[in-house]
Amino acid sequence: MALFRCAFAFLILTFSFAVVANPQTEKTFPTDDEINLVLSQTERAIQQYKPLIDQEEPQMGKSATDAVARDRQVANALEMAVKALKGKPQAFNGPVGFMFFEWLDDAGRNAVLCGSGAANLAALQMMAGSKDMAASLLHLAQNCMNASTLIYTVSENAGSLYQRYVEAEQQLAVHGAEVAEKCADILKKSGIPPKK
C-alpha cells in the first residue's frame, strides 16, 4: 500500500511540475465558451443558407432536386448537431466534433455548387433572352456564394478548435505513457513484479 501511495504522489508531482515547467507548450482542449461561439456562428450561417435551399429548386428546375435534397440533409444534420452540442459542448472534443466539421465542410461546398450552378443557368437564360430569370438566378448565385463564404469561415474556426483537441489529446496520451513508464520503472526497482 505504501508503494501505491508513493506512485500516486509521484504522479501528482509529475503533473504539477509538467504544468509549471512547460506552460508555453501545454496544449489545451477547446473550452465551452469557444465551442459555443462556433455553434452560434453555425446557427447564423445555417439561417442564412436554408432559405437559399428553398429557392434553389424552384429557380434551377428539376435538375437541382438531388442537390437540394443533399443540401437539406446537411443543413438538418448541422441543426441537430448544434442542438445536441449546446446541451453538452464538450462532446465536440471527440468524434462528434469531427462529424460537425465534416458537415460544415459539406454545407460550404454545397453552397458553392448552388452559386456556380445558378450562375451557369443565369448565363444560359441571358443568352436565351430571359433577362428577368437571369437576374433572379444571379441574385441566387450571389447569395449562395455569400453563404458559402460565411460557412467556410465558421468551418475554419471549427477546424481550428478540433485541431487543438487532437493536439491536446495527443499530448495527454504521450504524457500518460511517460508517467506509466516511470511508474513501471519504480516498481521494477523496488522488486515488485508486474501483474499480468
pLDDT at 190: 78
- pLDDT tens per residue across span 48-66: 999 999 999 899 888 888 9
Please provide the size of the chain in residues: 196
Quote the CA–CA distance of 107 and 45 in Å, as a whole number. Answer: 10
> Which letter does DSSP use for residue 64 in this model?
G
Vertex 7: Cα angle to 6 and 13 (nearest 5): 90
User: What is the percent of the chain with per-residue pLDDT over 90, rounded to a whole number?
Assistant: 65
pLDDT tens track, the chain, 196 positions: 444 444 444 444 455 444 444 445 788 899 999 999 999 999 999 999 999 999 998 998 888 889 999 999 999 999 999 999 999 999 999 999 999 999 999 999 999 999 999 999 999 999 999 999 999 999 999 999 999 999 999 999 999 999 999 998 888 778 777 777 887 777 777 777 666 6
